[in-house]
Structure 1
């Protein structure tokens, strides 16, 4: 994976959610390498059995690109939340992913696991790709999806959007990886300073922190 050295100050954390979660950045040399870098990243983390992953995009075009690139990966089950999705289908996707996170918690937090009832498919990681416009709406009664890994494929430009992604997509003890290209380093530092969240460089041995 192509990464640049970026100096990122680590201010004290200010809220319980971010104090338990861990935030990292993955610097990409050039924009044209971004999808390939995501492919490398998912090639590592996506092989962790049952890992609940959320990939956040800012635009529908990028969401479509991510989905077309990764829809056929054999070790990841992929779902998409987009604006013209039928309400019943959206509810089903959210419910299934919440079942995935519950199963992850049972195996990796409680330490119990039933025999695999549904075959090899249940050993795959599960990934939701979503734009900011389609994040779970907590105010309307939807539950957060609480993924263990949140990948900000497109870094939000505002702290409020970053925090909303966390609130709706990330488990309290989850991991955030921000993909950063070029001038986005300034945006990353601004989010870091305004939110009080420390964002460090992603370690090469990423599986050790998942």
Structure 2
């Protein structure tokens, strides 16, 4: 499924209405490299929203590594990953940085437009300021396995991503756990599924009282 490149500015009014999470799916042909291509293209379009906080969930370490390898060189993504043998101190830093990214996103939405801008200043500092601004406007993305989701029972706070992408479709219980630990109250879930998984997704939808719709061609309709 192609995703068009049209992106609109965040709507200021969305901050006040606080709609519930919305769930979508995009179907790809039953080939792994097409699935990865779909993810990369989806990120390329979505990441045109400055500072968009994104979580990508995988069921296995192998898939996490594959996703990280595919997106690590994307210039519009600030990438981190959570996996089982990550040092606790590194994990805490990653989670804290992501929470800061969600604050930046909220500030952009509250302002009603993304381009902030301070013109003026000494030209000698322009490069440093430009690099700082570029880092702040990159989409901040965490790739995580289910074994390493935030541990709410142990006091870890949810990360409240604007967009949660299920790169691999989990069980119903894990699907709901991903929502609880990774998604903002008004966030968006995008499920990347191969053709045969649509039935599984519909079973999750029915047993969880969710509405999971086919993703619009124009992604600006949901972001």
Report the TM-score when normalising by structure 2: 0.82
Structure 1 moving runs of 4+ over 4 Å: 110-117
1:37 matched to 2:38: yes
User: 1:204 and 1:112, CA in 2 relative to 1: closer, same or farther beyond 3 A?
Assistant: closer
The alignment partner of 1:142 has SS state of coil
In 2, the alpha carbon distance for the partners of 1:149 and 1:109 equals 17
1:174 matched to 2:175: no
User: 1:109 and 1:184, CA in 2 relative to 1: closer, same or farther beyond 3 A?
Assistant: same
Aligned to 1:161: 174
Residue of 164, 187, 203 corresponding to 1:150: 164
In 1, the alpha carbon distance for the partners of 2:2 and 2:62 equals 23
In 1, the alpha carbon distance for the partners of 2:181 and 2:117 equals 30
Aligned to 1:9: none
Rg larger in structure = 2
Residues 13-52 of structure 1 correspond to what in structure 2 (within 5 A)?
20-32=20-32, 33-52=34-53
The alignment partner of 2:158 has SS state of coil
Aligned to 2:124: none
Instruction: Answer with 131-140 or 19-28: which moved more.
Output: 19-28
Over residues 120-144 of structure 1, what are the superposed CA-to-partner deviations in whole Å (9 max), with x where a residue is unaligned? 1111111000000000000101110
User: 1:43 and 1:111, CA in 2 relative to 1: closer, same or farther beyond 3 A?
Assistant: closer
Aligned to 2:207: 194
Shift of 1:153: 0.2
Aligned to 1:141: 155
Aligned residues: 194
In 2, the alpha carbon distance for the partners of 1:77 and 1:51 equals 10
1:184 matched to 2:214: no
Shift of 1:207: 2.1
Residues 18-167 of structure 1 correspond to what in structure 2 (within 5 A)?
20-32=20-32, 33-109=34-110, 111=112, 118-156=132-170, 158-167=171-180
Do the aligned residues in 2 keep the contact of 1:2 with 1:27 (CA within 8 Å)? no
In 1, the alpha carbon distance for the partners of 2:109 and 2:56 equals 21
Consecutive unaligned residues in structure 1, runs of 5 or more: 4-18
User: 1:21 and 1:87, CA in 2 relative to 1: closer, same or farther beyond 3 A?
Assistant: same
Do the aligned residues in 2 keep the contact of 1:2 with 1:28 (CA within 8 Å)? no
Do the aligned residues in 2 keep the contact of 1:2 with 1:29 (CA within 8 Å)? no
Over residues 82-101 of structure 1, what are the superposed CA-to-partner deviations in whole Å (9 max), with x where a residue is unaligned? 11000000000000000100
Report the TM-score when normalising by structure 1: 0.87
